[in-house]
Amino acid sequence: MRGVRYKKLRRPFRTQRINMETIFIKELIYNICLLLGVGVVYSEVSLRSATPRRYRDVAIGVVLGLVGVAVMLNPWTMRPGMVFDVRSILLSVAGVFFGPVAAFLSAGITAAFRFNVGGDGVWMGVAVIFVSAGLGVLWRRFRPQIALNPGFGELALFGLAVHLAMLLCTVLLPAGTALETLKRIALPVLLVYPAGTVLFSLLFLRHAERERLMRAIEQSSESVLITDAAGGIQYVNPAFERITGYSRAEVTGKTPKILKSGGHGPEFYRELWSEISAGKRWEGRMLNRRKGGGTYTEEVVISAVRDAGGRIVNYVSVRRDITEALRLEEQFRQAQKMEAVGQLAGGVAHDFNNILTAIKGYCSLLAPALPERSRAREDAAEILAAAEKATSLTRQLLAFSRKQIMVPRVVDLNKIIGDMIKMLRRLIGEEVSLTTRLHHAPCLVKVDPGQIEQVILNLVLNARDALNGKGEIALETLVRGLSDNTGAAVKAPGGKLVCLKVRDNGCGMSDEIRGHLFEPFYTTKGPAKGTGLGLSVVFGVIKQSGGEVEVESSTDKGSVFTLCFPAAAPEEAGRAPAVVAAAVQGGGETVLIVEDEETLRRLGERVLSDAGYLVLGASSADEAMEVMERRKRPVDLLVTDVVMPGRSGRELALELARRKLCPRTLYMSGYTDEAIVKHGVLEPGIAFLYKPFSPGALETKVREVLDGPEGQARA
């Protein structure tokens, strides 16, 4: 009976305990649902937040702290002063996903509220708050993958660890209540709280994934535009704003028609809509207009977005501005085109120059032998004049291709202009005003003086033609630093640029003409008024001199050509080689001439023999060595072609110098500078004669080399 009575006495107590545990579990589930609901709202709001990143952690900490307070306002009360809620879930997950600043700031807010509530469980409650936040931060520190792509098992393990620590905090309850409390809450806590931790973590994982995606779109260098199914703009990213000039607020609710430039016809857009409305992906290029009025080209990819039922609800357009890429591509094609012409010119230069040398040489020898005022002499003069024109044309082609032989030295650009000014005024005519504005100090540059004179002449004549007989041309020199925008591509070791501006107030030019300005054979003049090589020669000479050409022009507003060169050091100005004044006639010296072209060799032998030299001839380096072995004594001068079958002229000269058989060498060639440099010529102190040359030029150069010091004509 006693046992039965005991059971009857205990049954109500056990029933009451089970009921309390059931209520506790229900309250916990209610709290978790409340927490998840608040989490969803927070997730949606935070995705739309424009809070700067440096304030983001603080803002998140405050928001999560307030969420914690809201959760604590709906607790399960075990007894007055001893309450339980799901703040441990909130704070531990905050530590994992948002880091220490947000976690401990939210912990501080919730701890302050719990301390204010007071009661027997106050110290346990405060301890649970900081232990949960701390465990979340530590888990994030040592298991960073949990915030990115954790497994379900790891989340469950994390939730279990946090709430085991929560149960350990019951030791902070008043004596006599800790054990009883632990018995009553242990099972519900270990059943419900880890599951709640997993659910809440999954919510924030989804939020973090969406935030990463949003951040990638916001920070993308390509513009992103999202419309509804009817084409109304719902979203654009900052790249779209930067490229188009429109803000997000300005375009939201409008259609992409605001970008139309008129560069595409109605059929283009009909085909586009036909593709995307059928759910297909559309790719292509569009010429669109910016808010400020300028146009730009972009590569566009448009895709449809469908809902769960397969209905199109949005269109996503990803756009890449390729305006600059197209400009660079066009420049590259232009450079290739110009290089191709240059290679063609260089390829034919050698043979063509050899032919011209023969024509000019024999005409120069023939003309004096013919009776004065005879038709034959006039014909010879015409042939010689035509050869001179062909020579000029060849040099212009090579100048354009940047392959002509240049002899640079330090000169004052102001002095060159001053020496040319009278000639230029005669060429442009009385109706055109020519003024100069020269820099107060010498403008020293290292260039080929003859080539720069040709450049100035071409630019002034070009300006004259743009004036149609009346107007103003101005020449200006100035010195600038590299920090200025002008001449940004010029490499100037001294940090200074010397600039020459040629300005006119003529008809100017359109963007289209300016794009073809430096192309060879491109001209806007009539068929009989120019070859179209003038400005291409300017381009080639300036580039080969290490400079840059810039053009400013618009229709009916004139043009400004700016030439920029690296400034030369003043001390370099005295380094130009002295010019040797010498007689043309020979003094019986022995000259060995080596040339593989028989016509040119015979011409050279005749010219130098007539000038009073003893001439030996050879068609190759090997034959020249045989001649010297038979002679058994030195010659005074070696005149040799650079590029020949077998050994080159440079190799021959070095061998003769080594054997002390020839103290001086004069090189000659019709090849471009690349071939000459390849064979070791064009170094300082080496004498060189460029084909085609006249008999007089050969006589003068030979006399100059023989009368000069040996060091100026070394091998």
Same domain as 170, residue 313: no
Counting the structural domains of the chain, the total is 5
Mean pLDDT within 538-562: 83
Mean pLDDT within 476-503: 74
- For the domain that residue 260 is a member of, what is the CATH number? 3.30.450.20
Query: 218, 252, 282: which is the final residue of a domain?
Result: 218
Mean pLDDT within 683-694: 77
Mean pLDDT within 480-505: 73
Same domain as 310, residue 241: yes
pLDDT-above-90 percentage for the chain: 30
| Beta strand ranges found along 465-545 (DSSP E) | 471-481, 496-504
Mean pLDDT within 337-352: 70
Quick one: pLDDT at residue 11?
Answer: 44
Same domain as 253, residue 283: yes
Query: 218, 240, 258: which is the final residue of a domain?
Result: 218
* Residue carrying structure tokens 């779209």: 240
Residue range 408-460, pLDDT digits in tens: 788 899 999 998 888 888 888 888 899 999 999 999 998 888 788 888 888 89
- Residue 120's H or E segment, with its range, is none
- The amino acid occupying position 449 is P
Whether 360 contacts 697, CB under 8 Å: no
Query: 575, 601, 628: which is the final residue of a domain?
Result: 575
Mean pLDDT within 238-250: 93
Mean pLDDT within 263-277: 92
- For the domain that residue 677 is a member of, what is the CATH number? 3.40.50.2300
Domain assignment of residue 632, yes or no: yes
Asked whether residue 253 carries a pLDDT value surpassing 80, the answer given is: yes
Q: What's the distance, Cα to Cα, between the start and end of the chain in Å? A: 134
Domain assignment of residue 254, yes or no: yes
| Angle between helix 534-544 and helix 323-369 axes, rounded to 10 deg | 100
Domain assignment of residue 337, yes or no: yes
Same domain as 170, residue 156: yes
Residue range 620-631, pLDDT digits in tens: 999 999 999 999
Domain assignment of residue 131, yes or no: yes
d(CA 398, CA 343): 9
Same domain as 241, residue 161: no
- For the domain that residue 344 is a member of, what is the CATH number? 1.10.287.130
Mean pLDDT within 314-340: 85
**pLDDT-based confidence at residue 516 (cuts at 50, 70, 90):** low
Average pLDDT of every residue of the chain: 80
Q: Which residues contact 165 (CB under 8 A, 6 or more apart)?
A: 131, 132, 135
d(CA 470, CA 701): 44
- For the domain that residue 107 is a member of, what is the CATH number? 1.10.1760
Asked whether residue 177 carries a pLDDT value surpassing 50, the answer given is: yes
Same domain as 154, residue 58: yes
Asked whether residue 250 carries a pLDDT value surpassing 60, the answer given is: yes
- CA quadruple 205, 210, 213, 218: dihedral, nearest 10: -130
Same domain as 393, residue 301: no
Quick one: pLDDT at residue 28?
Answer: 60
Report in angstroms the alpha-carbon separations of 265 from 21, 97, 138, 287. 74, 51, 61, 11
**Winning range, highest mean pLDDT, from 62-71, 319-328, 503-512:** 319-328
Quick one: pLDDT at residue 399?
Answer: 58
Domain assignment of residue 12, yes or no: no
Mean pLDDT within 43-55: 52
Domain assignment of residue 5, yes or no: no
Asked whether residue 196 carries a pLDDT value surpassing 70, the answer given is: yes
Q: Token pair of 246, please?
A: 């429109």
d(CA 401, CA 367): 34
Domain assignment of residue 157, yes or no: yes
Report in angstroms the alpha-carbon separations of 707 from 41, 382, 586, 613, 710. 97, 35, 10, 14, 9
Asked whether residue 115 carries a pLDDT value surpassing 60, the answer given is: yes
* Residue carrying structure tokens 């993308």: 220
Q: Which domain holds residue 365?
A: 329-400
**pLDDT-based confidence at residue 396 (cuts at 50, 70, 90):** low
Same domain as 664, residue 607: yes
Domain assignment of residue 205, yes or no: yes
Least confident segment among 402-411, 451-460, 514-523, 606-615: 514-523
Instruction: Name the nearest CA neighbour of 134 among 174, 100, 171.
Output: 100
Asked whether residue 32 carries a pLDDT value surpassing 50, the answer given is: yes
Quick one: pLDDT at residue 510?
Answer: 75
Instruction: Name the nearest CA neighbour of 438 among 474, 490, 482.
Output: 474
Residue 458 pairs in a beta bridge with none
Mean pLDDT within 273-298: 92
Asked whether residue 26 carries a pLDDT value surpassing 70, the answer given is: no
Same domain as 341, residue 269: no
- CA quadruple 233, 236, 241, 245: dihedral, nearest 10: -10
Residue 387 backbone class (left: φ over 0; alpha: ψ -120 to 50; beta: rest)? alpha
Same domain as 264, residue 119: no
Q: Token pair of 570, please?
A: 């003043």
Mean pLDDT within 132-161: 86
d(CA 206, CA 47): 11
Same domain as 537, residue 413: yes
* Residue carrying structure tokens 């501006």: 501
Q: Is the peptide bond before 371 cis (omega within 30 degrees of 0)?
A: no
The answer to whether the predicted template modeling score (pTM) of the entire model surpasses 0.85 is: no
Same domain as 136, residue 53: yes
3-class SS string, 534-563: HHHHHHHHHHHCCCEEEEEECCCCCEEEEE
Quick one: pLDDT at residue 299?
Answer: 95
Asked whether residue 532 carries a pLDDT value surpassing 80, the answer given is: no
Asked whether residue 128 carries a pLDDT value surpassing 80, the answer given is: yes
